[in-house]
Structure formats: structure tokens, C-alpha cells
Amino acid sequence: MMGNNRISILIIWLTLLIGLCVQIIPWSPEYNMFKPHLLVLVLAYWLIALPHRVGMSVAFLLGIVLDLFSGTLLGIHAIIFCCVAYLLMFKFQLIRNLALWQQSIIIFAVSLCYNLLIFLLQVIIYHTVTISPLIFISSFVDGLLWIVIFLFLRLIRRKFAIS
């Protein structure tokens, strides 16, 4: 039983690491508006599916790591990931029992909050305004991609009996 527990933790962290690697891949400026926040999506899945294993501390740690890799001010993504984790963990039982298309709408809203918090912190810290209506496209892509991420990670969770 102890070996299964270690494998479960390893698989969770491996999926989060893959999400981080995909998140830090640079995209060309023409397509950057379509770039999904894959780390947020993978983190959201584990926060909804297993909130007792993946919580605020994991979200904070992933935010710090993303700050280090992306070169932003240390703590920006950590704060935002903690806010996202709070939003998802607050009603995880409700979100878990919704239909997949309804979950997709909630993930769209959470992604929009993520983008708006990044904008707000940029304004507060850097005093630059870099918002455009194109952030809705990124959030929409996250909402659509949620269906694929959810089904894929649920398949992995069931295959390895992660609980």
C-alpha cells in the first residue's frame, strides 16, 4: 500500500511538472493570445479531484517555480495560484458534481480571474497597462481545453488508482 501511495504522489507531481514545462514554452507574439495556461488547468484538476493531496501549499510552490522560470517578480504567480486554489477548493464538491460543460464554464471564469489578477498586479507593481480584449480568447481556450485535460487526467487517475 505504501508503494502505491508513492506512485500516486509521483504521478501527480509528474503531471504538474509536464504542465509547468508546457507553460514556460515561449510562443510567437501572433499566437500568444491563444496560449493556454496548462499548469493552471492541471493544478485545477488535482485541486478538484484530490484537494486533500494537492492544496494551497502546492499551488504556492508551483507559483514560485513559475515565477523563477518566467522571470517575473517573485511571488506574483504564487499569490495568483493561491487565489485560484482558494476559488476551486472552496466549492470543489459542487464543481466535481457538475457536468463537464458546466465545469468548462467555471474554468473559463477562473482563467479569466487569473488573467485579470495578472493584469492588476502588473498595474500595481510595474505601472503599465497591458490589457486587451484578447485575454478572453486565452480564457476561452482554457475552457475548451479543460474538457481534454479533465478526461485525460481522470483516465490517468483511474488507471493508477490515485486517491
DSSP states of 29-72: TTTGGG---HHHHHHHHHHHH-TTTS-HHHHHHHHHHHHHHHTP
Residues of the chain with pLDDT under 70: 1-3, 130-131
Half-sphere exposure of 90 (CA within 13 A, CB side): 8
pLDDT tens-digit series, residues 137-149: 999 999 999 999 9
Mean pLDDT for all residues in the chain: 91
Q: Give residue 128's pLDDT.
A: 77
Neighbours of 61 (CB within 10 A): 13
pTM: 0.93
